[in-house]
Chain A
Amino acid sequence: MSAQSTAVRGPSGLLTPVVQQILKLLGLAFLDVFGILLFYTFWYVGQWGLAAAIAIITLLVNVVVFVPRLYPVRWLSPGLAMMILMVIYPIIFTFTVAFTNYSDGHLYGKSESIALHGRVTYTPADARVYQFEPFVAKDDPSQLALWLTHDRGDGTTEVLWARVDEPLQPVDTDDPTPPEEFEGFRPMERSELFGVIRQLESGTFGEGADTVSVTSASRRTAARAEQRYVYDEELDGITDRVTETFYAADNEIGSWIAAKGTAEESKLEPGFFVFVGFTNFTRFFSDPALRGPLAIVFGWTVAFAFLSVFTTFVLGLFMALILNEKSIPYRKALRSLLIIPYAIPAVISILAWKGMMNPNIGVFAKTLGIEVPWFSDAGWAKIGIVLINLWLGYPYMMLITSGALQSIPTDIYEAAEVDGAGSRQRFWNITLPLLLVAVGPLLIASFTFNFNNFVVIEAYNKGGPPIPGTLTPAGYTDILISYTYRLAFGSGRGADYGLASAITIVIFFIVATITLLNFRFTGQWEEVSKNV
């Protein structure tokens, strides 16, 4: 290795290029090993998508480091890697899941489901259940044997000597008590047994059709164990050998079903996940169970998101304008104090407000005498939630508008003053239009955020008060995300990730449409700024 051949053009510091080079390679090597480890782990457990994402990221990092032209990208690569992992991969995953029946009872692929059922063993009705006494070879602690006894029921006892992969050997004795020594083996102490349970669990004693496995180490029982659920590839189904039931694979819904369409219909759980096309989407739009109060919920979602942005913006702008006045004393201290609601975690603020608003023990009702049904009346609950969100959100608006106010050139105001514009005219014709150009995109972001503001809704009143007479449970303050969250995870027969993903995608398209329209609208303000 020579310093001349180096492709590094980075700043040279205390380290010589050679050392730099070695450090770089070592760092990269560690990164690669870490990548391979992750890849291996994910591949091993069947998370192929995630494994592929890791592989792509690792490869890209290597390319970036070794291609000199991509030197500037090197500093972006951690961010890009995180974006692939945290943003792009989940999006692809969500889109994929939306077209499957991935849900409780359908969490595995078909082959995994078959393998899982294949692990279950049973003791056939005709098999004898033996009591065992563990023995270990005197000269080799890895050699185990079992002293098996079985009470025939007629006062005599059958005694067998069992070793791994050797035929069971009848012992000619009527005394079930294990001897002190047998064929070079000695009985194990109780304390030794725990240490070899794992070995006993994996081993099969005996040979051919005549075998026994340990069924309980605690009770010291052993018996012949056979696979209970056997998959038949030709018939595409699983047979339960205990009940002699045949569960045919239904590859449309991903279930093992016996006696389909009759009263005795039964399923073997877990089933497996399959692609179901647009079923989840059609369910969301056509199923009366899901559609139920959707219109009410959607209306409130839009209203809530709009009101949240509007109220916080108005109050934030008002505060910013006041604090912008040089004549106000202690401006810095006031500004710091007003930021506090933004600095406190939202959940804590909401809980504190909730306590204060409670009609039974809250300060509003008990000390101030404001007896308002903040939680039980649909209208007041909505007002309450907008007020709390105003408290949570105005500092942010105050921050961004103060910044934007500074950026408006003062000469425009001077020109306006010369033209005889009053303060009100200046605000409406200069401040607001120019401000909106700067903060418009942020307002849209805020709208999108509040459209999915699950935390506030859930922490305030869990979407309540309930709407009476709906087909599915919904509350007056439920927004789309909280309503569908409860549908997908808290109802039916357990968590339904497929449906949840489908709903997520629908919400994404709604928000995207609204955002696009908003950008169109704010584009008009940019026209204004060009003409000023």
Chain B
Amino acid sequence: MKKHLVLLTLVVLILGGLVPAIAAQGSGDALVIWADDTRAPVLVEVGAAFTEEYGIPVVVQQMGFGDIRDQLKIAGPAGEGPDILIGAHDWLGELVVNGMLAPIDLGDRAGDFFEPAVNGFTYDGVLYGMPYAMENVAFVYNPDLVETPPATWAEVKEISAALKDEGAADYGYIIQTNDPYHWMPMFSAFGGYVFGRDPETGAYNPADIGLDSPGALAAGQFLQGMVEDGLIPADVDYDVMHTLFEQGHAAMIITGPWALPRIRESGVPYVVTGLPGAEQAASPFLGVQGFMISNFSENQLLAEAFLLDYVATADVMGQIYAADPRPSAFLAVREATEDEDMQGFIAAGENGAAMPAIPEMASVWTAWGGAQELIIRQTVDAETALTDAATQVRTLLATDLTGMVNVPGSYQSQAGCAADWDPACAATAMTDNGDGTYVLTVDLAAGDYEFKVALDGSWGVNYGVDGERDGGNYTLSLDADSTVTFTYDSATNVLTTTVK
């Protein structure tokens, strides 16, 4: 018995001595790249050439596009992750919050890239990716059924009605029942938006939710109008939409470059063109795809050099384009694009805005899609559906400060706040009267004061003079020490001041 134990211990010790050696191999010399199945073959080729030239092995590990993000969260911290990964710009919020990405400095090479694509990969002012492609939806119509592409949504409606009356097709324009990504072009054309943007930095502001903004309601009502006229069917998903279009039952759809292969294969005549506008030009979501460098990589300098010196060339970027055509983010390739369909997509994306990459976006899709579905199914009217959706998003994003009505201003340090102009100071939070008005009473010394109304403890939504959103400051001059009562009416957003 003992002999066995001794023997076992010996064998285990000998083999165990190999363990650190085996374990160390994991962080080996190779440059590891995670890529999806369309990009992987291109990178394998590029990697082989790189290895040949410099003797540094490049390992391309292929996985599903969406899996890359999930796997990085698991493998990265464990030291098993890649040096370089392929991904979409709207992953940034989640990945940066978890500290998973290393910044990339394109230096003077930034000029080789399409600027909106570079901006898409910029998060909180830091660049985290080198873009290779962009994608956005465009307007696709059947030229046998539609002579001239509609320039406005009103025309889309007219053409749809005419096609239906003539019996030329079952439907004119059709849209997925629950897919706000494809609804965004119509939504934005009427002035609807998801998150407001900081006018200076252009960063999305999660406190400003635009699902129930006047433009959004207008878009919802337009959609409702089309549904009520029997022009838009319910129960349409991506496949149904494409099947109806490809069989000639529907004349107009909005879709992206990923759908081109199936449309071409179906043999239906089609033209890809820019998006119809309304109050303003349609602004579809832009998606940017690119290479990112893992923060857990031991080879960050090498990875950056590989990307900048080896991948950011017209040749490799051209190969990536050829493997899965969508508008390139690399200017040399983008400008050389001759494909008419691709030019249609480029035209449609000209006025686009990068899809919000902030983590708060996760709260939006289900609520927003639900509103779209409720409108198309005519369960409730557009205004109710969108107002409810906005409430749902606000509830999901609620913080402890949600619901707070505050009067930030230059008086606040007298009222027990740490500093002036603090929209989150508890000492100057207004009390809810229960009838839609809020009140705050403070004792102030003689002097001149300025203030505004801010909601939810942040500047995201604030009202100035006459209840104007982001309006001017209220002013108040006191000749003597006084007791000041502020009253805020949430119906008009106006603040009234009484002095005693």
Contacts and interface: CB of A to CB of B under 8 A. Distances in A.
Interface of A: 1, 5, 7, 21, 25-26, 28-30, 32-33, 36-37, 40-41, 44-47, 66, 104-105, 107-108, 112-113, 116-117, 119, 191, 194-195, 197-198, 200-201, 214, 216-219, 261-263, 265, 269-270, 288-289, 292, 355, 358-361, 373-376, 462, 464-466, 468-473, 475, 486, 490-495
A11 to B, nearest CB: 20
Contacts of A26: 11
B302 A360 contact: no
B22 interface: yes
Contacts of B380: 468-469
B23 A40 contact: yes
A471 B12 CA distance: 59
B395 A471 contact: yes
B77 A37 contact: no
Given A263-B408, A269-B97, A194 B11 contact: no
Contact of A116 (B99, B298, B363, B366): B99
A25 B234 CA distance: 67
Interface residues of B, number: 90
Given A104-B359, A217-B301, A470 B392 contact: yes
Given A471-B391, A475-B370, 13 more contacts: A5-B3, A26-B11, A194-B306, A216-B105, A218-B107, A262-B418, A263-B458, A263-B459, A361-B240, A465-B374, A473-B366, A490-B362, A491-B366
Contact of B16 (A33, A66, A495): A33
Given A270-B98, A466-B374, A32 B392 contact: no
Interface stretch (B50-58, B142-150, B275-283, B475-483): B50-58
A45 B78 contact: yes
B136 interface: no
B234 A469 contact: no
A41 B25 CA distance: 12
Nearest to B22: A37
Nearest to B371: A466
A45 B397 CA distance: 33
Nearest to A192: B54
Interface string B36-74: 000000000000001001111000000000000000010
Interface in B389-416: 391-392, 395-398, 408
A376 B377 contact: yes
Given A30-B15, A469-B384, A104 B97 contact: yes
Contacts of A46: 77
A289 B97 CA distance: 23
Nearest to A469: B388
B442 interface: no
Contact of A490 (B96, B366, B419): B366
A200 B301 contact: yes
Given A33-B16, A262-B425, A360-B235, A468 B97 contact: no
A1 B3 contact: yes
B362 A468 contact: no
A511 B407 CA distance: 49
Contacts of B301: 197-198, 200-201, 214, 216-217
Contact of A493 (B77, B395, B397): B397
Contacts of A25: 4, 7-8, 11
Contacts of A216: 105, 107, 301, 304-305
A262 B419 contact: yes
Contacts of A112: 77
Contacts of B371: 466
B37 to A, nearest CB: 21
B123 to A, nearest CB: 11
B20 A494 contact: no
Contacts of A191: 53-54
A468 B388 contact: yes
B19 interface: yes
Of A36, A361, A486, which is in contact with the most chain B CB atoms at under 10 Å from its CB? Answer: A361
A45 B424 contact: no
B385 A468 contact: yes
B240 A201 contact: no
Contacts of B16: 33, 36
Contacts of B243: 361
Interface in B432-485: 458-459
B1 interface: yes
Given A37-B22, A195-B55, A45 B396 contact: no
B397 A358 contact: no
Nearest to B312: A218
B341 interface: no
B424 A262 contact: yes
A41 B363 CA distance: 36
A195 B4 contact: no
Contacts of B302: 194, 197-198, 201, 217
B98 A195 contact: no
B99 A269 contact: yes
Contacts of A219: 105, 107-108, 308
